[in-house]
Structure formats: structure tokens, C-alpha cells
Copies of this chain bind each other. A is one copy, B any other.
Amino acid sequence: YRLDLCTWAEVEQYLTKCKGIILPIGSTEQHGPTGAIGTDALTAEAVALEVGKRAGVLVAPTQAYGMAEHHLGFPGTMSLQSSTLLNVVHDLLLSLARHGFERVFVVNGHGGNIATVKAAFSQAYKTVLNLKLPVAAGFRCKLVSWFMVPDVFKEAKARYGNLEGQHATPSEIAVTLFLEPNLQSKQRQLPEPAPAGPIYDYQDFRQRYPDGRMGSDPFLAKPDHGEIFLDKAAIALTEDLLNFLKEL
């Protein structure tokens, strides 16, 4: 179910049976003093692969870089501008549309990508219609963010209460601890976080949230929580995806 391990002939075969594909998109950005910079890509990829396995749907490679301009005040953050990410998503969707994929399920790991990905859907629909691709009448894209799945969010609130926070959250860190056990060695007790609040530019962000956390206590995260979050996300999104594929 990993596109990158398929041959083109296998994809051609797959398309005779299924027109759906999963496209994971993450971000490469600071996640507080103890969280991994790759958190959003690692988690989006893991969720996507799990959903792909359960639904029997192909998973494209993860776009590891997203729109993380507001995190650029912290070393290691690598961000695409909105306009660039818009074009990336547009071009990938167009590639898929050309091959006859009709349902693209974008599994997202980063809140900052949402606006731009939605804008990209709109541009892609327009290009597909303009080019009169054979797939035009049925080409549809859906964006889901695994951390916004209701069951995931409820679980996080139940476990961590307000200390779930809004960035570098224990729920996403837990998933990375489950995926990359070595990351546990970075975990340590942290001082009280800056309270969650608005997001403006990256200088303001660093001043407002000096260690990168927005109201979260990632020290609460444990690997086994991560396994549970991953499972809850996969259950809900697999159902979502199957409905999306069945949609007329």
C-alpha cells in the first residue's frame, strides 16, 4: 500500500479496482524543547500508512515540508511559504488526476497547512476542469487532520486536560514516542508553559511562546498513549475514507 514501493504497472492495475489514494502531509518545525522537529510528518505518515493498510488504499510518499512560517523563530524549522505549498499540493493533485485517481484523501499532521491545502484544492479543481481531464467529472479531494478527529481530541482532553495545549501537544508527542522509542530519552519535566493564545508572525510567536510550547505539557506523553491515539485516528479516518470512496 506504499506507492513508493510499487511499480507503475502495479499502479495501473490498482487503478482498475480503486480510484482512491492517500497523500500524507506534515511539517518540519519546532515542537518545544523536547519534541521532535519532524513530529508532524512522522505522525501524518504513520496515520496515513495505518489507514491505507486498513482500507486497502495506496499511500503516496509524505510531503515532509509544510507551511510553518510562524515557527521560523526556532532553529531547525524549515518552512514553505503559503504560495509555494499551494503550488506543491496543486501539482501533486494534478499528477494524480492525470492518472485517473478520483479521490485524494490528504492526511495532515499540522494545523498551519490547513488553509493553504484548502486553497490548493480549489486551484486544482479549476485546472482539472480547464484541462478537461477525463477524470474531471469525478475528481474530489478531502483534507483530514488526524489530531482533529473527534475521538482523538476527546482522548487527549481526557488524558491531559488543558495541558494538551495547542502546539507540541502531549498527544502528538505520544505518537512520536510510540513510533521512535529513542525519542523518550529527550523527555523531561518542563517549566509551566506559556498559555495558548493567538499566532501572528514568527518573532511574535517566539516572544509569546519562548520555548515553543503553546500551553502544553509534552512530558505527560507516553509511548502507549501514542499507540492508542494512532489507533483511534486510524479507526475514524478509515471509516471516513471508505465513505469518501463510496460517495457518488
Contacts and interface: CB of A to CB of B under 8 A. Distances in A.
A18 interface: no
Contact of A77 (B79, B81, B82, B95): B95
A28 B42 contact: no
Interface in A109-130: 112, 114-116, 118-123, 125-126, 128-130
Residue of A15, A88, A182 with most chain B CB atoms under a 10 A cut-off? A88
A134 interface: no
A96 B83 contact: no
A interface: dominant SS: helix
A86 B83 contact: yes
A136 B203 CA distance: 9
A141 to B, nearest CB: 7
A75 B6 CA distance: 10
A116 B86 CA distance: 10
A36 B6 contact: yes
Interface string A125-163: 110111100001101111000000000000000000000
B84 A4 contact: no
Contact of A126 (B65, B81, B126, B180): B81
Interface residues on A, range: 35 or more
A37 B65 contact: no
A70 B129 CA distance: 11
Interface string A1-18: 011111111111001000
Interface of A: 2-12, 15, 28, 30-38, 41-42, 60-65, 67, 69-70, 72, 74-84, 86-88, 90-92, 95-96, 98-100, 112, 114-116, 118-123, 125-126, 128-131, 136-137, 139-142, 180, 182-183, 186, 198, 200-204, 212, 247
Given A61-B78, A63-B65, 4 more contacts: A11-B75, A79-B95, A83-B87, A84-B88
Top 7 nearest A-B pairs (CB, nearest first) are: A4-B38, A125-B201, A11-B76, A61-B64, A82-B119, A115-B118, A8-B30
12 contacts: A4-B28, A4-B36, A7-B32, A8-B37, A8-B212, A67-B122, A82-B86, A82-B120, A86-B119, A115-B115, A129-B201, A140-B204
